[in-house]
């Protein structure tokens, strides 16, 4: 199978079958696309859509978020999970204002230099916001390329430089077509070439897929188990953060002590929130969200 055939088939399928997601609209700003990419990390689309809409309604430009407090970003993040992303997104907005006059930069090196913006997100913004030719490689894309091109059942747990090279070789030379192809590869992996139950009968490259031709061999490595949540420090952090998020002022330690019975685990979770920059002590006996504005004195 040639790279041209593969990319043409997937891009054509995408144009006819892509989900109607709000950040894919023709008039969506680079800032809105950047926000969507940060929110979509390890979070299902169905949960991101309303959060993204609410976020952009409040902070339609980086300058608006940069002028607000980290505490408000954490509150607005709600229960999307991994709330450190909210703080980093605000730090990113501050950097955009200070370094780029409030405009999301279009150069890859400048995007990579922003706080909290890694290899994937920088290339995604460059491609989807500015129509540039960059390999945009996430788990879904790596799986599609591994199966369809090399015949492997998966591509391993982490993105390697070789994954970027392999994906870039599939992109058309013309930047706009390459950006479309990048979105198409990702969509195919998200809705058809899934990890557990691939829908090969609906795949546009089924007839030329190397994995399909080789009999769809199963992965040979260890099975990746779903992460447990109940009873973990992550759950305790979420419970503590929920109390602080809903508070209108500093929260006494005694109130936080009611969240979780295990003193050692609760203290460890609270310390982690402080270390991550999500929570700060007000004094020896109370805490608040980082940067929370004190209530005015009556």
Alpha-carbon distance 98 to 121, whole Å? 20
Say whether 289 sits in a helix, a strand or coil: strand
Say whether 142 sits in a helix, a strand or coil: helix
Cβ atoms of residues 199 and 189 within 8 Å: no
Cβ atoms of residues 259 and 240 within 8 Å: yes
Phi, psi of 173, rounded to the nearest 5 degrees: -70, -35
User: CB-based burial of residue 77 (10 Å sphere; 0-12 exposed, 13-18 middle, 19+ buried)?
Assistant: buried
Q: What angle do CA 116, 117, 121 make, to 5 degrees?
A: 140
Beta strand spans in the chain (E): 251-252, 279-283, 286-289
187 is catalytic: no
Tokens 């892509």 belong to residue = 18
The residue from 37, 61, 72, 152 that is catalytic is 37
CB neighbour list of residue 202: distance below 8 Å, 6 or more residues apart:
192
Cβ atoms of residues 142 and 160 within 8 Å: no
Alpha-carbon distance 240 to 238, whole Å? 5
DSSP 283: E
Phi, psi of 69, rounded to the nearest 5 degrees: -90, 155
CB atoms within 10 A of CB 190: 18
Residues forming the active site: 37
């Amino acid at each position: 199978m040639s790279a041209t055939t593969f990319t043409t088939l997937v891009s054509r399928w995408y144009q006819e079958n892509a989900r109607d997601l709000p950040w894919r609209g023709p008039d969506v700003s680079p800032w809105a696309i950047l926000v969507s990419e940060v929110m979509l990390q390890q979070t299902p689309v169905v949960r991101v859509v309303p959060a993204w809409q609410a976020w952009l309604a409040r902070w339609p430009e980086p300058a608006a978020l940069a002028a607000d407090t980290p505490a408000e970003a954490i509150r607005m993040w709600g229960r999307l999970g991994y709330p450190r992303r909210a703080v980093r997104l605000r730090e990113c907005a501050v950097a955009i204002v200070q370094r780029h006059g409030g405009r999301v930069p279009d150069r890859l090196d400048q995007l990579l230099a922003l706080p909290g913006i890694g290899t994937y997100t920088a290339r995604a913004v460059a491609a989807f916001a500015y129509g540039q030719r960059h390999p945009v490689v996430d788990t879904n894309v790596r799986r599609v390329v591994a199966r369809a091109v090399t015949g492997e059942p998966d591509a391993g747990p982490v993105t390697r430089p070789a994954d970027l090279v392999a994906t870039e070789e599939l992109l058309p030379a013309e930047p706009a077509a390459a950006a479309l192809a990048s979105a198409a590869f990702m969509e195919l992996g998200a809705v058809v070439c899934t990890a557990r139950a691939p829908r090969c009968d609906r795949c546009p490259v089924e007839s030329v897929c190397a994995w399909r031709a080789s009999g769809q061999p199963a992965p040979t490595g260890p099975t990746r188990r779903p992460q447990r949540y109940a009873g973990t420090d992550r759950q305790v952090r979420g419970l503590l953060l929920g109390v602080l998020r809903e508070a209108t002022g500093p929260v006494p330690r005694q109130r936080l002590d009611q969240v979780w019975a295990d003193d050692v685990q609760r203290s460890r979770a609270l310390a982690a929130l402080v270390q991550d920059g999500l929570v700060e002590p007000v004094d020896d006996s109370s805490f608040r969200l980082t940067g929370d504005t004190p209530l005015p004195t009556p």
